[in-house]
Amino acid sequence: MNISTHFDPALRQRINEDMSLRKLATKTQISYIRAINRLCEYLQHSPENITHEELREFQLFLVNDGSSGTTINSMISGLKFLYQTTLDKPQTVSKLSYIPVARNLPIVLA
């Protein structure tokens, strides 16, 4: 994974420390970093100075780009962790909502 030049190393270190404190699984940590990195690439600036409108446009970009509901929900989880836990700005992501994903029923053999 290529790390965005707009993803501040100090911020990344702080996120890694917060994830370690909460003992998040390695795959979860990778998913969160990937989400924040993709946001940085989209914005072309640090995610610390984001506006509600930019966040909304990013979510629309993900939907229009053809990302699955599961992928978008994973991205939202990563962004919520960044803004609620690491940056302590819960109002930034207060309007983000998860996308309903259809669940497949198991096949029951008679």
Instruction: Give the whole-angstrom CA distance, residue 52 versus residue 101.
Output: 24
Instruction: Give the whole-angstrom CA distance, residue 100 versus residue 54.
Output: 22
94 within domain boundaries: no
pLDDT by residue, tens only, the chain of 110 residues: 677 777 788 888 899 999 999 999 999 999 999 999 899 889 888 888 888 888 989 999 998 998 888 899 999 999 999 999 998 888 888 888 888 888 888 888 87
Q: Report the pLDDT value the prediction gives residue 80, as an integer from 0 to 100.
A: 92
Which amino acid is present at 81?
Answer: F
Hunting for tokens 């072309």 — which residue is that?
Answer: 44
Q: Report the pLDDT value the prediction gives residue 1, as an integer from 0 to 100.
A: 61
How many domains does one find in the chain?
1
31 within domain boundaries: yes
CA angle 75, 100, 71 (to 5 degrees): 25
> Domain span at residue 14?
9-89
CATH value at residue 42: 1.10.150.130
pTM comes to 0.84
60 within domain boundaries: yes
Instruction: Give the whole-angstrom CA distance, residue 3 versus residue 5.
Output: 7
107 within domain boundaries: no
